[in-house]
Structure 1
Amino acid sequence: RGYNKGAIIREILKVGRPILISTDKKETPKAVKDLASSFGCRILRPKRDLSREEKEEIVKEYKEKIEDTHQLDALASALFSYRKIRRKIELVERYFKEKNLLEYKDDVLFYLFRLKGANLEQIIKMLLREGEEEKEQVETVKEKNGEEILAELLREKIELQRQLKKLKDEASFYKKLKLKFDELLDYKTKFEKLNHYFNLLKDIEKARSMGLQPVLKLEKIENLDEIDAYIGLEGRIIFSNDKEAFGLLNKYGIKCLITEEFFEKQMKYPILKIDKNELKKVGNVYGIEEKKLDSMLKDVIKEELKKWIEEEREKI
């Protein structure tokens, strides 16, 4: 305040050429519009007027340096806008730092905020002269060094293309490597399954060597086709309490099912109700004395025969 437009412009140019101008008002004041027009830059404004409390909160870290309300308003406007664009600035800085191209950061930020709607990819293309050249006002110093800058950018472009080809070759290599890795994982899975069922067969044979009938333990009645393919289910004795799935065993021709659960429904195989503590644990299977098994099977068969006879009598 207290300066004419020309004086303000001269003061600003001592620091640099602005690409954004901020205001604390929802409706941009005429003086701000005129200033933005002079520099050809965009205006950042809040969706509603900033309150005095909001401004004081925004500038509280610089409170000691503020001399009057005009300075407070100006600083609050600038900091408010900076918070809105800070993430973009940090993103650009991080991106170009990773690419070791920090010297282009300011040019990228210039286009990013000068051209509304432009994205980072479009801006890079502009700098590398791949797209249509935008007619923008630039400082005399930059105009004088334009050819040098272009040559440098073209050299950088060639280097980037070389690096891109290298990355593509590496990507192709890693893709092939991943396929091999997936293949190895598949072999590992198959080996682990083979090892699991081989150990089961060892436990089954161990139970037999102890004079016991081996009992295959199934916590959940599932993957039956897989189990049948690896060790066979026909003639096996199964222990399980998963009574909701007992019916799934009907088609595999098992010798019998041992369970702790009460189950009345008739299956295609005998069901023996035994506490698992009566079974002997042998590795990952159970074992049951052959005499005890035969006795229980006979009792079940007799009971089923008796039930069948009674049902037939009722039909007569």
Structure 2
Amino acid sequence: MPILVVGIDIISEEPKRFAVVSWFNGKLVKHGEFTFYRLIRFIRTKKPDIVVTDNIHELGEYLRKFIHAIPQGTKIVQITGRPGEQKPLWGLAKEHGIRVGDKFNPYEEAKVCALLAARGIGYEVLAFEDEVIIKVSRGRSQGKGGWSQDRYRRRLHNLIQNKVREIEETLKKANIPFDIEIKEKDQGLERGEFRVYASREELAGLIKPMRGGDIEVRIRPVERKTFEFVPLKSERAIRERKSVIVGLDPGITVGIAALDLNGQVLMTYSERNMAISDVIKFISEIGHPIIISTDVNPAPGLVEKIARSFKALLFVPRESLKVEEKNELLRNLGVTVEDDHQRDALTAAYKAYLRLKPKLDHVDAKLRELEIEGKGEEIKALVIQGYNLGEAILKVKEKEKPKEEIRAAEEKEASLDLGPYLEKIKELEKTIEFLEKENQELRAMIEEQRKIIENLETKIATYDEKIREKILRTKEIETKEKRIAYLEKELREAKSIIEKLSKDLVLTKRMHLLELKGSAVPIKVIENLTWKELEELERSTSIKRDDVLYIINPAGAGRSIGEYISEKRVKAIISAKPLPNVIYEVLKENKIPVLYESEIEVKRVDEFAIVDRKELEKVIEEKLNQWKEEEKQKEVQEFLRLIEEYRLKRIKELKKKADEEH
């Protein structure tokens, strides 16, 4: 089945840039130079089967971000092998017959990586355990107290409880092992956390993350402490490393045992609280496991996960082994163990070996018959993997094919007439000699040019240093000039403020003196006639009977404010602008004079203002007299209106009576 492989290589470190080449269905495409974040977007869009590089640690500080960002199902492959066993990239290319161009070209490296991975070469990087953390919690803040908030909180906790139960049922139906930790609250759950012993791929489609609603479901894979490297194809691991049969006894104390393909015990081991990554690393150091076995049926989830990690066959006995049977198997082996965990692991491995022994003995017999020596273990491992004996022998012999071809070519060459070839060789030797001399001359020229370049670079460095000092000096002067200009501006502004404050101080002193003499009345200033400013004024100085209020902007005030001021029985209101009619009428009804700046002079400094006492008394008296006169006029008009209405009514009555008499 066609797969998409993306090969990458580092072009530059600062800033990080990558050469990207893809391989699909036999075609190579050079995509160009990518930044890190553009590379991530490209991989998320294309969703390749494999992303491959010669060394993942070249990603440096971006490595963790890269691993978390790639889409689910995409494998990360290090082509040169696991750390400590790496092979040069160009050596791998030559081994697999891949032609190489410019070895210093990043695109060439990315291309070779993609071609090798497409052939199943390289090691998959396992960054995550086969474990997933699922957290269920509230998605929104509960807000501050109150009856409705308590009800909302209880509803949230019930929703979380229902979602936790739903996930629990889903995992149980799918036979996926898990542990759960919950925090109860309000007869519901405040949160729930699952540790699921399965890979992200196994959970795909079963449980979906949720965000943005009343509850949140977050799914996070568990990172390994150290990366594990497993071969893309098990045949390669079989060829390169010792094949073993591993028995596992999981639990608080983990038991591990290993046998070779001849049934010899290689090791037994047990340890408390051993992490999955530590188990995988321990097994990797022994060899390549062809079979992972257990002594119980059904197999524990941990054993299944480790078998998947190594792409090994899982051996499960038809029924769980009994203690008597385990002890019998140990007696047959003639081996003593330290504890029951080692015993269970060793008997599981030995049981698997006994199941395979007839097939392995048959392979040994055939190899002796075919007189094939030294390759028995590799051929046995391939047979266990599912190859028939003929295919396994052919795969092993393919490695020796180049040597056989060389030998055949030498034999063929011996039977040919070598004269013309010898003459051609002599001509080529002369050409080589000429080219070597020319090469020496060119090297001498290069050395001379190198010295000239070094001399020029020294001069440029000296010149650059002088220029740099000059630029720094110029920049320093510019910075100081800007600083001086800024300080001069600040000084001008400060002088202006001081001058204004001095004038205000003189005026304030005069106003205060007038107030002390009794010739001036202090008035309380309200910038905007609103409830907020009235409340602030009440808190600071309070509004008292016979106060005079100076209102700068009365717009927007309503009847209730007018009634409030009237209740305070203030002496007068002075307004910079016309008062709204509704307030004016309320004040007029309550005989509180309303004065305007055109009628009286107000002297003000910030929040402090005064008016002349005599002038105020005079204007208040005039305003009250004016209103009194207006009231009299209004009463006269009303009286005249009533008389007119009576006259008209009387005329109608007399007219009606006259008509009746006639």
For normalisation by structure 1, the TM-score amounts to: 0.39
Point out which structure has higher relative CO (alpha carbons under 8 A, 6+ apart). Answer: 1
TM-score, with normalisation over the residues of structure 2?
0.19
Structure number with greater Rg is 2
**More helix by percentage:** 1
